[in-house]
């Protein structure tokens, strides 16, 4: 069931397909008309899980602790000698690991090459690899080991619907992975050129728009889109190359508890958008304000040194970002990540983009979170809360002082 394809050839058992399950103890039916169209289907918000056995078959990016340590060093040596699972795709020929085994099988599905549309997001045929020009910056691919099924044979879908217990459902959607054309270790922002980073954002944006257009063509609506980066193994990054992922949920059954909180909060603000008006604690929590973006430490951190960022323009989605906003974002992220490295903040970090789902007529100001890795305790799992030790305005001061030398 690689690439999210379920057909008569590969279907074996109803429990080998990706499943979505809403937790009955934290799931509520959406009754408001604000968030999305009101179709026939019941829609929910709450806690849900994607359960996908194929995720366990992903290739491991790091084979040894020593190998992983090398990546932490961020010396330029690492740029040339390393072959990863994506090398065969970017180089257009099978690459081999140290044991002489081919890495991958020479097939892929490319949704966008930089911003250029390639394979249809609902294409059923992985194709042979081909050399990607050196000048390209990024590729957005269909994730080979997804949490959602993209294409399902109609007979199998019917059978699954009949056989699965009613509280489980076949999970449908598109999982994208965007990689840099050339190899850059994700933990080393000092080695990553700004145009490689903005290339990734541009390719993600073009791929999201392509997927949504094609999904709407297939009568999907009310679509949550979740772009994110897992930078480093401790925060879920299984591959050493700089890459992002995007989850496009096509189940048309609602959204998660946290997004519900954001949607309700923006609804309550009405015309007085908090992000358009706040001074972020009389500016003492602001780390960097550019023409296009504001970066600050949130007053209610999820981890110590939790940074939040938003475009100064009131837009609702990642896919509405314009070229100058994207280029500025790449530059700002690069220097902020370097400033965090300089004061020894854990290099394992997530970047999470919060957007209004497609089809929702909701008020929303798109924003993102940078969350450095930290071990959390049980209380944080008991509630949507965090016991932090670092005062956010002091964290901001430390980062600001560290950042100063990178500001022209």
Using rule CB under 5 A, residue 265 touches Zn ion: no
Indicate the angle between helix axes 392-403 and 323-342, nearest 10 degrees: 100
Using rule CB under 5 A, residue 385 touches Zn ion: no
Shortest approach of Zn ion to residue 275 CB, angstroms? 4
Shortest approach of Zn ion to residue 388 CB, angstroms? 26
Distance CA 362, CA 184 (A): 38
Using rule CB under 5 A, residue 276 touches Zn ion: yes
Shortest approach of Zn ion to residue 364 CB, angstroms? 8
Nearer to Zn ion, 93 or 314 (CB): 314
Nearer to Zn ion, 119 or 328 (CB): 328
Using rule CB under 5 A, residue 286 touches Zn ion: no
Which segment (30-38, 189-197, 210-218, 267-275) binds Zn ion by CB under 5 A? 267-275
DSSP string covering 3-49: GGEE-TTT---GGGS-EEEEEEEEEEE---SSSS---SS--EEEEEE
Measure the N-to-C terminal CA separation of the chain; round to a whole number of Å.
Answer: 50
Shortest approach of Zn ion to residue 366 CB, angstroms? 9
Nearer to Zn ion, 228 or 364 (CB): 364
Nearer to Zn ion, 89 or 275 (CB): 275
Using rule CB under 5 A, residue 63 touches Zn ion: no
* Cβ neighbourhood burial of 264 (10 Å; 0-12, 13-18, 19+): middle
In sequence order, the 6+-apart residues with CB closer than 8 A to the CB of 21 are 48, 49, 51, 167, 168, 169
Using rule CB under 5 A, residue 1 touches Zn ion: no
Residues 189-218 that bind Zn ion (CB under 5 A): none
DSSP string covering 89-107: HHHTS-EE-TTS-EES-SE
Residue with tokens 């209380």: 379
Among 187, 204, 275, 370, binds Zn ion (CB under 5 A): 275
Give the neighbor-by-neighbor strand order of the sheet with 307-311: 116-117, 110-113, 138-142, 173-180, 243-249, 225-231, 349-354, 367-372, 307-311, 293-297, 286-289
Among 69, 314, 322, 405, binds Zn ion (CB under 5 A): 314
Using rule CB under 5 A, residue 268 touches Zn ion: no
Shortest approach of Zn ion to residue 317 CB, angstroms? 13
Nearer to Zn ion, 38 or 274 (CB): 274
Strand partners, 351: 229, 370
Using rule CB under 5 A, residue 269 touches Zn ion: no
Which segment (170-178, 227-235, 291-299, 314-322) binds Zn ion by CB under 5 A? 314-322
Residue 64: DSSP 8-state = S
Nearer to Zn ion, 265 or 323 (CB): 265
CB-nearest residue to Zn ion? 273
Indicate the angle between helix axes 194-217 and 323-342, nearest 10 degrees: 130
Structure tokens at 45: 């918000």
Using rule CB under 5 A, residue 257 touches Zn ion: no
- C-alpha of 127 from chain center: 25
Nearer to Zn ion, 275 or 396 (CB): 275
Q: Are 170 and 161 in contact (CB under 8 A)?
A: yes
- Closest C-alpha to 35, from 262, 361, 363: 361
Nearer to Zn ion, 205 or 365 (CB): 365
Nearer to Zn ion, 196 or 259 (CB): 259
Using rule CB under 5 A, residue 279 touches Zn ion: no
Using rule CB under 5 A, residue 79 touches Zn ion: no
Q: How many CB atoms lie within 10 A of CB 96?
A: 12
Nearer to Zn ion, 365 or 400 (CB): 365
Which segment (31-39, 45-53, 93-101, 308-316) binds Zn ion by CB under 5 A? 308-316
Binding-site size for Zn ion (CB under 5 A) equals 5
Strand partners, 298: none
Residues 315-374 that bind Zn ion (CB under 5 A): 365
Residue numbers at the binding site for Zn ion (CB under 5 A): 273, 275-276, 314, 365
């Amino acid at each position: 069931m690689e690439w999210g394809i379920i057909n008569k050839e590969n279907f074996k058992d109803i429990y080998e397909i990706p499943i979505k399950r809403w937790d009955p103890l934290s799931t509520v039916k959406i009754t408001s008309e604000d968030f999305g169209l009101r179709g026939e289907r019941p829609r929910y918000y709450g806690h849900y899980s994607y359960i996908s056995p194929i995720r366990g078959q992903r290739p491991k990016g790091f084979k040894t602790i020593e190998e992983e340590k090398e990546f932490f060093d961020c010396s330029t040596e690492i740029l040339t000698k390393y072959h990863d699972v994506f090398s065969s795709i970017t180089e257009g020929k099978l690459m081999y690991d140290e044991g002489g085994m081919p890495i991958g099988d020479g097939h892929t599905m490319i949704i966008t090459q930089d911003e250029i549309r390639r394979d249809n997001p609902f294409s059923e045929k992985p194709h042979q690899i081909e050399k990607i020009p050196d000048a390209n910056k990024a590729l957005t691919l269909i994730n080979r080991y997804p949490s959602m099924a993209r294409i399902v044979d109609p007979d199998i879908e019917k059978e699954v619907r009949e056989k699965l217990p009613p509280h489980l459902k076949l999970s449908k959607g598109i999982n994208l992975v965007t990689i840099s054309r050339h190899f850059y270790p994700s933990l080393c922002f000092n080695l990553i050129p700004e145009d490689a980073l903005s290339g990734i954002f541009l390719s993600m944006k073009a791929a999201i728009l392509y997927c949504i257009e094609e999904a709407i063509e297939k009568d999907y609506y009310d679509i949550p889109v979740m772009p994110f980066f897992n930078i480093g193994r401790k925060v879920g990054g299984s591959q050493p190359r700089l890459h992002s992922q995007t989850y496009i949920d096509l189940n048309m059954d609602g959204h998660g508890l946290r997004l519900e909180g954001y949607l309700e909060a923006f609804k309550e603000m009405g015309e007085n958008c908090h992000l358009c008006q706040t001074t972020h604690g009389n500016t003492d929590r602001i780390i960097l304000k550019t023409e296009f973006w504001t970066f600050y430490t949130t007053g209610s951190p999820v981890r110590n040194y939790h940074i939040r960022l938003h475009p100064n323009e009131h837009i609702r989605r990642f896919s509405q970002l314009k070229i100058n906003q994207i280029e500025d974002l790449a530059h700002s992220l690069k220097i902020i990540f370097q400033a965090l490295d300089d004061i020894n903040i854990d290099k394992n970090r997530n970047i999470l983009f919060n957007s209004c789902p497609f089809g929702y007529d909701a008020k929303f100001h798109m924003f993102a979170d940078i969350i450095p890795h930290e071990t959390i305790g049980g209380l944080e799992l008991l509630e949507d809360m965090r016991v932090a030790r670092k005062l956010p305005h002091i964290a901001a001061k430390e980062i600001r002082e560290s950042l100063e030398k990178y500001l022209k």
